[in-house]
Amino acid sequence: MAEIVVNFQHDRGLVYDADDYFRLRTEFRIVGNLIGVPVSHPRNINQQGLPVVLSCYELKLLFEKNAIRLSNRDAIFLQAPCTEQAQLYKSMIEKQKEEMRQPVIEKRIEAFRKHLPKIIEGKRKKLLKSGIKNEDINISPEQLVAEEMEKAKTAKFDVLVQIPTKYPFDCESPRLPIILNTEDQIKYRVFESLWNQGGFITVGDSFGCDFLLYPGDPMYFHASHMVHVLKKSSQKLDVKYLIRICRLSVVVNKLCVIAYIDETINDVHFETLEWEGTSNKGESV
């Protein structure tokens, strides 16, 4: 299976190709974060499109699975295209325009055929008014359609040209390694452990946690767990901190999980917390 090229720009890994992103989502359960504008709905502020940003944990996992190649193309993007590239891009745009013209022409001819009887009758009346006898009038429907086809081919239509999100030319770029700091390395081990157990994992910044765990694709499922990663297994937990993360998980209807690395056996451990609140208050009265 071919490696997916991930563009490293502004300290972020970006994927521009829709097929590549589909592979990441279906084969590797990697979601990322869409930050672009969908081509089909460019003014829709409630829906995002390509490119997709991959977190450092997702990049590290894919890199170790030999699924991606991290590439820095900043220098290539800043270069002016050569004559060959300019011609290739021009032919690509013309091909797009032609592909967009064909459905318009077909729709125009379809509408013309639909009104063909009225068009023939109108031409007949016009010829009769000019003094031509009815028996001398010979109007061929096929000829009218052929003439309309020629007009449609030379007519000008308004077209929307899609600007490619993926770099359209083949180019060589240096491979880049993925280096994580100490804290991110701990979080990556937790991310990898969760990924190996199945499900989908995303960064949990929007929910005030480190990771969100989904039972299936986030397009169809809500997150079921909020995961908080401890920097050290010996880290003392403040009571207020525990209350805060538990109450937060209750509000958003998710389970609260604390993850840490047991240094004695060098393995990832998970502890699930459940908030009981004051459910037993009535019994103590």
DSSP codes joined into one string, 195-264: HHTSSEEEE-GGGTSSEEEESS-TTT----EEEEE-S-TTPPPPHHHHHHHHHHHHHTT-EEEEEEEETT
Secondary element (H or E) of residue 8: strand 4-9
Given 21, 57, 188, 214, the catalytic residue: 214
Q: Which residues pair with 4 in a beta bridge?
A: 68
Annotated catalytic residue 222: yes
Q: How far apart are CA 222 and CA 49, in angstroms?
A: 20
Annotated catalytic residue 214: yes
Given 60, 188, 254, 260, the catalytic residue: 254
Residue closest to 70 by CA, chosen among 81, 54, 82: 54
Q: How far apart are CA 209 and CA 251, in angstroms?
A: 14
Q: Integer distance in angstroms from the first to the last C-alpha of the chain? A: 66
Tokens 């030379």 locate to 154
Given 222, 231, 232, 241, the catalytic residue: 222
Whether the CA torsion 197, 198, 203, 208 is positive or negative: it is negative
In contact, 74 and 48? CB cutoff 8 Å: no
Task: Kindly state the DSSP code that residue 183 receives in the 8-state scheme.
Answer: H
Q: How far apart are CA 247 and CA 236, in angstroms?
A: 19
Integer CA distances (angstroms), 142 to 118, 128, 149, 153, in order: 15, 21, 10, 17
Residue closest to 208 by CA, chosen among 236, 253, 261, 249: 249
Question: Catalytic residue positions?
Answer: 214, 222, 254
